[in-house]
Structure 1
Amino acid sequence: MTDYKEEQAMEVEALEAIYMDDFTKLSDEPLTYQVHVVPNQDGENNFVALLIKAEIPDTYPDVEPKIEVLVKKGLADRQVKEIKELMAQQIEENMGMAMMYTLSEAVREYLVENNREGNDGSEHQEMLRRMELKKKKEDKVEADKLEQANANAEETRREFQGTPVTVETFAAWKAKFDAEMAPTKKISIKDEATAKLTGRQLWNKGLVTEDGAEEAEAEAEGEDEGEGEGEDAAEHDGEAEEGNDDQK
C-alpha cells in the first residue's frame, strides 16, 4: 500500500533543497506550497517571473495536484494560457509520479525562451518572439547540417587513409594469410611427391587404378628411352666430330 504522506514529504524536502529561498511551504493541512520560477536562479536578467501554487490532495500523485499560476512580471495573458496548457500536459504524462519538480522545470524552460525585456504581450512583441524562435530553429538546422558534413568528411578521410600498418595489424594479416594458404601448400607438396612415384607405386598407394598404373609405367619408360636415345645420339655426334678432326 502506498504511503502517500511519506512520498509527499520526501518531495517537499527535495524541492526545498533545489529551490531553497524560491520554495515556500504555506500549510500542512492541506499540504500547500509555492515555487517562485524565474529563467535564471542567480537572479540576474530575469524579465519574466511567476509563482506556481500547488495544493496537494491526500492521494497525490495518483491524483493531480491543484495548480494555480500567479504572474509576477513580464507575462501576457496569452503566455499564461500557454503555460497552463503546458502544465496540464506535464501532469497527464507524469500521473502516478512525484511531478512538481518536472512541472516547475517545464515552466522555467518556457520562461527562458520568453525572457525578454519589455515583454508586454503586444502584437509587436509577439512578432519579435516569433522571429526569434524562427531564427533559433534555422540556426539549429544549420548546426545539424554542419555536424553531419563534418562527420561525413571524417568518414571519407578515414576511408582514403585506410588502416595504418602496425606490428599488430601486420601480425593479424600474416596469420590470416597463412591460414588461407595452408591448404594450397599441402596440395602442392602432395602433387610433387606423387609426381615422383612410379605407376606401380601409385597403384599400391591407391592413388590410381591398375590401368592407370600401367599407363604411368609406359609413360615413364618412354621418358627413359627418350633420355637414352638422346644420350646415344650425343655420343655418336661426338665420335663423328673426332673423326673429322683426325682427317684434318
Structure 2
Amino acid sequence: MTDYAEEQRNELEAIESIYPDSFTVLSDEPTSFTITVTSVAGEHGETVEATLKFTYVKKYPDEPPLWEIHSQENLEDSDVEDILTLLQQQAEENLGVVMIFILVTAVQEKLNEIVDVMKNRQEEEKQRREREAEEAEKVETIHIQSVQKVAFQGTVVTIENFLVWKAKFELEMAELRRKRQKEEEQAGKPKLTGKQLFEKDHNLDTSDIQFLEDTGNNVEVDESLFQDIEDLDLDEEDPDFDPLEMGSDED
C-alpha cells in the first residue's frame, strides 16, 4: 500500500532544498506551497515571472496535485493560458510519480520561450521601424528631387505669360522711377542744368533737329553774304577800329 503522506513529505523536503529562495509553505493541512519561477534575462534585461501554487491531494502522486498561477509579471493572458495547459499535459503524463520538479521545470522552459518570443517581437518591431524610416527617407528624397527638377526646368515661356510678365515688369519699373523721383525731391536734390542734361542724355543733341524736320521749319543760309568776308582788312589790334564808322563812310 502506497504511503502518500510519506512520499509527499519526502518530495517537499527535496523541493525546499532545490528552490530555497523561491519556495514558501502556505499551509500543512492540506499541504500547500508556492514556487516562484523566473525566466532567464532577455537581451535588454527583460524577464517574465510566474509564482505557482501547488496543493497536495490525498492520493498524490497517483492523482495530480492542484495548481494555479498565484501571481505573475510581464505575462500576457495568452501566456497564462499556455502555462496552465502545459501543467495539465505534464501532470497527465507523469501520474504515479512525484512530479512537482517536473512541472516547475516545464514552466521554467516555457518562460524562457516566452522571453525569446518577446526578443523576436522586439527585433521585428525594430526592423519594421527601420524599414519605415528608410521608406520615409526615400519618399522625402524623391520629393526633394522632384522639387529641384521643377525649379531647374522653370516655367515654359509662352506669348501669353510673357505679355503678362512684361506688363507687370513695366508697371514695377514705372513705380520704381516714381519712387526715386519722389525721394530725390524730398532730399532736395538740385535740378540738372542744360549742359548736365545734355551730357546725361545724348538724345538731346538731335532733338532740336528732329523737331525742325518734323515741323518743316528748315533754316536756309545765303552763303553769298559771306563770300567777300576774307577780303576785308580787319585789324582787330587797332583800338580805334570801329565797324560802324566804316559802314557810314561807305554810305
Q: State TM-score, norm by structure 1.
A: 0.45
**Greater share of helix:** 1
TM-score, reference length from structure 2: 0.45
Greater gyration radius? 2
